[in-house]
Amino acid sequence: MDICPVCGLPKDLCVCEQISKESARITVRLEVRRFGKQTTVIEGIDPKGNNLQKIAQQLKSALACGGTAKNGTILLQGDHRDLIKDKLVKLGFNSNSIEIQ
């Protein structure tokens, strides 16, 4: 039986990911990149407690856009600031900790 090194609970009962989701201070902002391309940047999600690739994949499929997760941030193609808060809340993040800029 595997035991989580952070919380000491068995892997199937581990609450580390849920705790990191609730305590994250997430900022969502828009960047205009080369050639006027708009990119939604999501910062503040702890990469140690969460799988950024998995979260990025879920957001990309829910918003029907391209994107990637690198250097602790998630980049989504296009302006999704109006929809992203609902999608992050559905993924388990606290709505009070999400700041849209």
Full pLDDT tens readout for the chain, 101 residues: 677 766 777 767 776 666 666 666 888 889 998 898 999 998 888 777 678 888 889 889 988 999 988 888 899 999 888 888 888 888 877 788 888 88
**Which of 87, 91, 101 shows the shortest CA–CA distance to 40?**
101
C-beta separation of 73 from 92 below 8 A = no
Name the 3-class secondary structure at 60: helix
pTM of the model: 0.73
- What the chain holds in terms of domains, given with CATH numbers, is 11-100 (3.30.780.10)
Residue 88 Cα distances to 2, 34, 36, 42, angstroms: 29, 27, 26, 10
